[in-house]
Amino acid sequence: MRKRLAQFRKLGRTPDHKWAMLRNMVTSLIKHERIVTTLPKAKELRFLADKIIGYAKKDSIHGRQLALRVVREKPVVTKLFEVLGPRYEDRSGGYTRVLKLSRPRRGDNADMAVIEYVDRPGEIRAARVPEKRKERYFNNLREVYESVGIESVER
């Protein structure tokens, strides 16, 4: 029986090498907001990338210290806390998207994927609007209609 063995993908590397690779990949993902990699690496990176965005949403000194343990470059951490954190403040999870590419890699036939952050300019596929943003938008819209004199129609 396989009880609690290998809950995460090993990716054919030692744990130190895997951690170093994931740190490099999350730094590149924050910097470029979209990277192309193999499908298992993208699925493994998704967990770490979402966790880093959670640190940025809290925007505390402790969150910045935790992010600096993972992200390799200080300007990228600045972008994380000043651009990405406020962008996802009303989204509760699901900050990344993994899209499988149609063609495998030429040399070894590995499945390739694109991992990207959602709600960004130039994204491949538009994301669903979070519920908090919908509520805020419709409440503001209702106030604007009432100030102009248009009655709201309740269904």
The pTM is what?
A: 0.80
pLDDT recorded at residue 74: 95
pLDDT beneath 50, residues of the chain: none
pLDDT recorded at residue 82: 95
Write the burial class of residue 95 (CB in 10 Å: 0-12 exposed, 13-18 middle, 19+ buried): buried
pLDDT recorded at residue 153: 62
Nearest to 30 by CA among 63, 77, 64, 65: 77
Which residues are paired to 112 by β-bridges? 38
DSSP state of 81: I
Q: Is 23 helix (H, G, I), strand (E, B) or coil?
A: helix
Nearest to 83 by CA among 135, 39, 127, 121: 121
pLDDT digit string, tens, across residues 52-66: 999 999 989 999 999
Contact 25, 38 (CB under 8 A): no
Count the alpha carbons within 13 Å of 73 in the hemisphere toward its beta carbon: 12
Residue at token pair 């951690």:
19
Q: What is the chain's alpha carbon radius of gyration, rounded to the nearest angstrom?
A: 20
